[in-house]
Structure 1
Amino acid sequence: MDHAHAPDGPAVPDVFDPRTYAEGIPHARYRILRDHHPVAWQAEPEVMGWPAGPGFWAVTRHADVVRVLRDHAAYSSRLGATQIRDPDPADLPFLRRTMLNQDPPEHGRLRRMLARAFTPARVDAFEGRVRERARSLLAAARDGAVDGSAEVVRAVTDEYALLNLADLMGVPAADRALLLEWTVRIIGYQDPEDAPPPRLGPDGVPLNPRSPALLGEMFGYARELAAAKRARPAEDLMSVLAHAELAEGELEMFFFLLTVAGNDTVRSAAPGGLLALARSPQARSQLASGRVPVDRAVDELLRVHPPVLSFRRTAARDTVLAGRRIRAGDKVVVFHAAANHDERVFADPGRTDLARAPNPHVSFGDGPHVCLGAHFARLQLRVLHEEWRTALPPPELTGEPRRLVSNFINGITRLPLRVSGRSG
Structure 2
Amino acid sequence: MRPQPPPGTLDDLDLLDPHLHASHDLTPLWRRLRATDPVRRHDTFWSVTRHADVLRVVRDPDTYTSLRGNMLRTLLRGHDPGAGRMIVVTDGPRHAVLRRVLTPGFGPRTLGPVTHSIIEATRGLLKALLREGGGDFVQEVAAQVPLRAICELLGVPERDRQRVLELTAQAMLGEEGTGVAARIAQSEILLYYTRLAAERRSAPGTDVISLLVSADLTEEEVLLNCYNLIIGGDETARLALAGGLLALATYEAEWARLRADPGLVGTATEEILRWTTPAAHVGRVATRAAELGGRRIEAGEVVALWTVSANRDETVFDDPDRFDVGRRPNRHLTFGHGPHFCLGAQLARAEIEALLVELRASVTRIEVTGPVTWLPSNFVNGVATLPVALA
Normalised by the size of structure 2, how large is the TM-score? 0.92
State the partner residue of 1:26.
26
- The Cα offsets for residues 94-142 of structure 1, whole Å up to 9 and x where unpaired, read as 4432111111122111111111222122112222211110111011111
How far, CA to CA, are the matches of 2:79 and 2:308 in structure 1? 29
How far, CA to CA, are the matches of 2:175 and 2:70 in structure 1? 16
Which of 117, 137, 151 is residue 129 of structure 1 equivalent to?
117
- The Cα offsets for residues 196-248 of structure 1, whole Å up to 9 and x where unpaired, read as x8029xxxxxxx85xxx864432222121122233443332223323223224
Q: Is 1:354 equivalent to 2:325 in the alignment?
A: yes
- CA drift of 1:293 comes to 2.5
How far, CA to CA, are the matches of 1:248 and 1:236 in structure 2? 17
Matches within 5 A, 1:406-417: 406-417=377-388
Which of 88, 100, 103 is residue 112 of structure 1 equivalent to?
100
Matches within 5 A, 1:16-415: 16-43=16-43, 55-78=44-67, 80-86=68-74, 92=80, 94-145=82-133, 149-189=134-174, 198-199=179-180, 209=183, 215-290=186-261, 292-415=263-386
Is 2:265–2:353's contact at 8 Å kept on the other side of the alignment? yes
Task: State percent identity of aligned pairs.
Answer: 35
- The Cα offsets for residues 249-299 of structure 1, whole Å up to 9 and x where unpaired, read as 111011111110111121111001111111112211221111643121100
- CA drift of 1:22 comes to 0.9
Q: 216-225 or 338-347, which moves further after superposition?
A: 216-225
Q: In structure 2, give the amino acid aligned to 1:28.
A: P
Q: In structure 2, give the amino acid aligned to 1:322.
A: G
- Report SS of the residue matched to 2:384: strand
The structure where helix makes up a greater share of residues is: 2
> Would the alpha carbon gap of residues 176 and 217 (structure 1) be closer, same or farther in structure 2, given more than 3 Å must change?
same
Q: 272-281 or 386-395, which moves further after superposition?
A: 386-395
- CA drift of 1:87 comes to 5.5
State the partner residue of 1:204.
none
How far, CA to CA, are the matches of 1:173 and 1:88 in structure 2? 38
Is 2:373–2:386's contact at 8 Å kept on the other side of the alignment? yes
Is 1:288–1:394's contact at 8 Å kept on the other side of the alignment? no
- The Cα offsets for residues 348-375 of structure 1, whole Å up to 9 and x where unpaired, read as 0011111111100001111111111000
> Would the alpha carbon gap of residues 71 and 128 (structure 1) be closer, same or farther in structure 2, given more than 3 Å must change?
same
| Structure 1 gaps, min length 5 | 1-9, 44-54, 201-207
- CA drift of 1:155 comes to 1.2
| Structure 2 gaps, min length 5 | 1-8
- CA drift of 1:156 comes to 1.1
- CA drift of 1:11 comes to 4.4
How far, CA to CA, are the matches of 1:294 and 1:235 in structure 2? 31
Is 2:171–2:185's contact at 8 Å kept on the other side of the alignment? no
- Report SS of the residue matched to 1:417: strand
> Would the alpha carbon gap of residues 35 and 91 (structure 1) be closer, same or farther in structure 2, given more than 3 Å must change?
closer
Is 2:84–2:94's contact at 8 Å kept on the other side of the alignment? no
How far, CA to CA, are the matches of 1:122 and 1:116 in structure 2? 7
> Would the alpha carbon gap of residues 91 and 311 (structure 1) be closer, same or farther in structure 2, given more than 3 Å must change?
closer
Q: 213-222 or 394-403, which moves further after superposition?
A: 213-222
Normalised by the size of structure 1, how large is the TM-score? 0.85
Q: 219-228 or 155-164, which moves further after superposition?
A: 219-228
How far, CA to CA, are the matches of 1:190 and 1:128 in structure 2? 32
Is 1:402–1:413's contact at 8 Å kept on the other side of the alignment? yes
Q: In structure 2, give the amino acid aligned to 1:198.
A: G
- Report SS of the residue matched to 1:285: helix
How far, CA to CA, are the matches of 1:24 and 1:287 in structure 2? 29
> Would the alpha carbon gap of residues 31 and 71 (structure 1) be closer, same or farther in structure 2, given more than 3 Å must change?
same
How far, CA to CA, are the matches of 2:23 and 2:210 in structure 1? 42
- The Cα offsets for residues 369-388 of structure 1, whole Å up to 9 and x where unpaired, read as 11110000100110111111
- CA drift of 1:91 comes to 6.1
Is 1:21–1:406's contact at 8 Å kept on the other side of the alignment? yes
Q: 287-296 or 97-106, which moves further after superposition?
A: 287-296
- Report SS of the residue matched to 1:125: helix
Q: How many residues align?
A: 382
